[in-house]
Structures are given as structure tokens and as C-alpha cells.
Amino acid sequence: MIVNYIWQVDDLDVQYTPITNGGGDYFALEYAEVVYKSYGKVNNALEWCSGPGFIGYALLASKLCDKISFVEMSDLAITQLTRTKENSHRYINNINIYKGNRLDCVPSTEKFDLVVGNPPHWPSVEAADKSMNSNNASEQLDLLVDPNWEAHKDFFKQMKNLLAADGRILLQECTLGSSSDTFEQMINDAGLKITAVQDSIMYKRNNIYYMEVKHLYK
């Protein structure tokens, strides 16, 4: 049995289940505040590894973006993203949902002004288990893991062509699994560069940090 919950932000009801909630309901509001202070309103935004879309839908409902796209590979999360879209009549024409574990599911004509995401924070199940001193089953920890950072590498490589000339990537990561140094070489190899790193204020005790990335020569 799958139980659906509603997370309401302004006039938008985000549907989710405990299975697909990777903590976005916890972190999304600070994320929106960071976007507001750093960039103000943008036109076209994307949430990577979106789950049910807490962050992206919060940006849309808070009028911090005109359009939002989501990339997600889980069938259940896609169902919830779609239900939220279909029930959000005010925003329905401003929402795109793409299913896949790579960005090649996104039309190459898209150019994003802002890309956000709370992706998996560890390179292995063993690293996640050790960092969190977890008693969770390995299949639960799998949701927190990007094996050998392969998804991150692929993301940055493909993002170069989807990011607007003056666009920004702002990812939420965890110091228990990585630092900006972990990603610097793969980012540079993709023709991008890290331009800022800042700790979360509300969730510093959770070891959360934000990493900003933009085009290398911009």
C-alpha cells in the first residue's frame, strides 16, 4: 500500500510519499531563501534528482522562477510529480517533467538559468553507512548513493550544453560525503567551474552545504 501526503507551499500542493522523500520537505524552504538572496527571480529553472519536486515546486510557487523542469528516474516520483502538475492548474503550462537517469532526456533546445538539486551524497553504500552510523537496510541506503560519483560526472558533462550563458548550478551537498574538492576536477573537465561554496545556516548541524557552478569562461 502506498500512502500519499501533501506538502503545501503557498498555493501549490506537492504530493509525496515517505519512500520518495529524500529530505526535500525539510530543506526546500531554506533552498528557496538562498536562491532569492543569491539570484532573485529567474526565468527557466531545472531540478535534478528531483524526487517529488519539493525544491523546484517551492521555487515556482514562491515566484522565484517562471518555468520549472524536473529530471527524475523513479516511476513513483514521476507519478507524484505528474499529479502535482495536473492539480496545479495555475502553473500547469510552466512545468516540464522528464524521466531518466541522464540529462539526455531533456531536449537539447533547453537553456536553464538556474539548476538546483539535492542529489545522493555518498559514493558508496559503505561510505553512507559509515558516515551515518546507520542501521538502515542497504536498499534504503542505495537512494543516498551515487556510485563512484558517476551520476555527478555525467551531470556536469551534459549540463555544459543545457546551462544558459550566464546560468548557475546550485547543488546541495553534504560534508559527510564530499567537499567541493571532490567535484572540482570533474567540473573543470566539463568546462565549468566552482564559483562559491557556502554552508547551510539552518541545517549546518546536518553538514549541508551549497556549491555554485557556472561556465568556465564566463
Summarize pLDDT for 39-89 with one digit per residue, the tens.
999 999 999 999 999 999 999 999 999 999 999 999 999 999 999 999 999
pLDDT score recorded for residue 126? 87
This prediction's pTM = 0.94
The residue range of the domain holding 202 is 5-215
Nearest Cα neighbor of 190 from 148, 218, 163, 159 is 159
State the pLDDT confidence band at 144, using cuts at 50, 70 and 90: confident
pLDDT digits (tens, 9 = 90+) for 100-142: 989 999 999 999 999 999 999 999 988 888 877 655 545 456 6
C-alpha angle with apex 67: 64 to 72, nearest 5 degrees? 105
pLDDT digits (tens, 9 = 90+) for 152-204: 999 999 999 999 999 999 999 999 999 999 999 999 999 999 999 999 999 98
pLDDT score recorded for residue 117? 97
Amino acid in the structure at residue 108: S
Residue count (the chain): 218
pLDDT score recorded for residue 207? 94
- Residue 81 belongs to domain with CATH number: 3.40.50.150
**Which 3 state secondary structure label does DSSP give 5?**
strand
pLDDT score recorded for residue 135? 53
Q: Which H or E element spans position 154?
A: helix 150-162
Q: Please, where are the H alpha helices in 40-90?
A: 54-61, 75-86
d(CA 156, CA 187): 6
Structural domain tally of the chain?
1
**Which residue has 529530505 as its cell numbers?**
23
